Structure 1
Amino acid sequence: MKPAQSPDVTELKRLRSAVLHRLQKHGIDTTDWNRVNAFMRQPRIAGKTLGEMSIEELKLFIPKMQAILSKDKAVRDEYERLARIN
């Protein structure tokens, strides 16, 4: 039987999962950590990798990523096109 995780670890995993879900919707291959980190490191996105982000930063990032998803369909389509040719 696994020991119970601390609430902070559970919250961190939940938030990271939520971010990965949104990245996947954006067309980022979430099985490719180099691609995920390259996207996240962009200064206009997060400026750091997913693993470097705190719980508070993740909480602030999720609405930002949601806004990107809803406002930037053209970019999403371009990422999907590029993902298909790579």
Structure 2
Amino acid sequence: MIRSELIARIAEDNPKLSLRHVEKIVNTVFDEIVEAMARGDRVELRGFGAFSVKQRDARTGRNPRTGTAVDVEEKHVPFFKTGKLLRDRLNGNEG
């Protein structure tokens, strides 16, 4: 599902809300998650999962084509850990 499909589904399930309002709500939620993660905060959505940022240390890697050593800088990467409810639903346990 892509963002526009999510917006359409929410608008369909909530006929009192206009498509423009639903789009603003969805965009605001995603923007707030991104902003919180950019600050290094953890975002937890109970039953769904938690978004966090992990730090990868600088290291020496290898160019797969030439085999030469390449310095890889430290970086921060997004990380998502599923919640128990989501994991159970994906595995057929309606728990």
The normalised TM-score by structure 1 is 0.32
Higher-strand-fraction structure? 2
Q: Which has the larger radius of gyration?
A: 2
Higher-helix-fraction structure? 1
Tell which has more relative contact order, 1 or 2 (C-alpha 8 A, sep 6+): 1
The normalised TM-score by structure 2 is 0.30
